Amino acid sequence: MTILKEKLSDFKEKFEQAQKLVDECKVDTLEPYKNHYKSKEILIDLEVKLEKTIEQTENEQDLLVFRAILGYVQKDIGKICSFVEETNQAKIYLNKSLELLEGNKNEPEIIICYVDTLNQLGILWSKLQDNEKSLEYLLKSEKAANSFKKFGKQPLTIFDIFGTSDEIEKGKGKECLEKNLTLTFFYLAQVYGAVSNLEASGLYCHLTLKRQLELEDYEPVEWALNAATLSQFYFAKNMLKQSRHLLAAANYMMGKYSDELEQKEMSEDQRAAAMENFKHRSADVDLCFAKYCIYILTTSIERLMQEKEESHKETDPIQFQINENCEKFNLDLSLYEREVVDDFVLTFEDAKEVFLAAQSYLNKAKEYYSLENEASQHARIVQDYAHIFKHLAFFEDEPGVQSKLHKRRADQLEEVLTQLNPTYYMNICRELMFELGLTYSDMLDIKCDLLKFNEVQPTALSKINTLCHKAINKFKEFENTYRDKKTGEIPDNLDVDELQVVACANFNLGRLYYKIITPDKKMQLENTSSSYKHYKTFIDYCEKHQTIAERMKGEYGVTKNMCELLPLKIKKLMDESKQ
């Protein structure tokens, strides 16, 4: 027994020495892996000593202890090799550890190292882009941990193994195994995401967050951001209750962290850095909440636009699994969940509540993402801001109020467009120009609809023509950003998605020129000719690019008819203008 204690004490000293080198590693630009290589040397030396000890040991319990320690040593060598990008060596050592531990995986001394080794192999194969193999190891890790827990045994940490039975730290082994299992879930979420199995990825993300809460093993800001990000997966699946629950939990956690931050002792620099991170991530959580609100409004409109409500689809197995396993967090979130509904809306009053919530979250996000500091993100927020006015207008019955809402939408977009330099923010400027063209077109449609039921007034005609020209100017500005400065032509080698938007701009231009109202025959001829030219350009894009034609079948059909009718009207106007 004395000899065993001496050996364990010697092994423990070497193991801790190696671990300390990695834990206290400082980045050296000349030798970035210096400490890791030193740690690896100590562990390899320890591996040799352990292998000799195992050859000389006959007692089964002692053998189990030495094998467990050797498994940890080989696993840690593998981790170091993976870190320093010695991939082949990492595979060798991790597999040696796995093979050594496999036969005793359900023993308390073995299970923690066994699960961690499987996790490390899962990570390694994920880095090597073999996600199927990565999943194989990670699922095996999950199964092993859950299987062990059924035996009711208490797992032992490496330091429990080094000590005597009296020195075992009660509960530490269980905590360590549970943390390793949480990491398994975390890695499974990443790898399932990499293979585009988003349902499984979402499930494991949720389980990871839940386990982190239960084990009190999380960093509040990171946890909140992960919860808010995951909410977007759920609302895209129309699982609004789950999505809102995650967002409420994120807000709860940020509020809790804010309170703790005020009481925490730290230097001025540390507090400034912590506050900057808190404000940044709070803005990101606010944006996630705003996206949730926008999704409710957008999808509510789509549902109302359908002729009849679709029948409920059968729930697929993984969807059912998400509903079954993703129980609510053990947090009092009632205050935060009351901020916004968790269902689609039907009336203006209900839509307005969601609109006001979205507006509040976007305003808070804009405080951090200002135009001066974060122009790109600020512009994206303004676009979202414009969208909520558009969505609210859909639920409004009064045309005058609809127009005012669209006017607010246009004002927001115009303001940010005038402040952005196209040289640096061309893509965003294009989006804003196109969105403004659509906004003025929406306002135009409202005015034209009113004209059908009211006596024609000169002021109404003037407003219609003004909106036509505003929309035309924005679509032309958009189109001109693509023109070659020398030739004035739009290159045909653009990405098909960009060509589609240019084609769409021409479709809108054709429609807008046709809507201009004037008694002047020459102006009618000019406008009708311009309408035909842009419709014809749209047709040319569709005929050159089948993808565009397939994506815009409705517009293509309408335009084909217009291109047959307009030449006849142009001829008639030409004849009339000669008289």
Q: What is the pLDDT of residues 97-115, one digit of tens each?
A: 999 999 999 999 999 999 9
Q: How does 185-196 read in b/e, with b if 16+ C-beta sit within 10 Å?
A: bbbbbbbbbeee
Overall average pLDDT of the 441-451 stretch: 91
Contact 565, 514 (CB under 8 A): no
Angle, alpha carbons 304-308-310 (nearest 5°): 95
Q: How does 322-355 read in b/e, with b if 16+ C-beta sit within 10 Å?
A: beeebeebeeebeebbebbbbebbeebebbeebb
From 15, 60, 46, select the one nearest 162 (Cα to Cα). Answer: 15
Whether residue 181 is contained in a domain is answered as: no
Q: Which domain holds residue 534?
A: 501-579
How does residue 315 score in pLDDT terms, banded at 50, 70 and 90? very low
Whether residue 519 is contained in a domain is answered as: yes
Residue 27's SS3 state is coil
Overall average pLDDT of the 472-490 stretch: 93
Alpha-carbon distances of 44 from 37, 48, 85, 116, rounded to whole Å: 10, 6, 17, 19
DSSP state of 141: H
Whether residue 574 is contained in a domain is answered as: yes
Q: Say how far residue 216 (Cα) sits from the centre of its chain.
A: 25
Whether residue 508 is contained in a domain is answered as: yes
Question: Which DSSP string corresponds to 258-286?
Answer: HHHHHH----HHHHHHHHHHHHHHHHHHH
- pLDDT tens-digit profile of 322-331? 454 457 899 9
Percentage of residues of the chain with pLDDT beyond 90: 79
Whether residue 438 is contained in a domain is answered as: no
Contact 538, 506 (CB under 8 A): yes
Instruction: Give the Cα separation of 8 and 109 in Å (integer).
Output: 14
Task: Please tell me the predicted confidence (pLDDT) of residue 43.
Answer: 96
Whether residue 570 is contained in a domain is answered as: yes
Overall average pLDDT of the 532-540 stretch: 96
Whether residue 521 is contained in a domain is answered as: yes
402: tokens are 């609809």
Overall average pLDDT of the 41-64 stretch: 93
Q: Is the dihedral of CA 438, 440, 444, 446 positive or negative?
A: positive
Whether residue 200 is contained in a domain is answered as: no
Instruction: Give the Cα separation of 126 and 97 in Å (integer).
Output: 19
Provide the residue type at 340 as one letter.
Answer: V
The dihedral region occupied by 511, where left means phi > 0, alpha psi between -120 and 50, and beta the remainder, is: alpha
Q: What is the mean pLDDT of the chain?
A: 91
516: tokens are 């201009």
CB atoms within 10 A of CB 150: 8
Task: Please tell me the predicted confidence (pLDDT) of residue 321.
Answer: 45
Instruction: Give the Cα separation of 54 and 460 in Å (integer).
Output: 95
Number of structural domains the chain divides into: 1
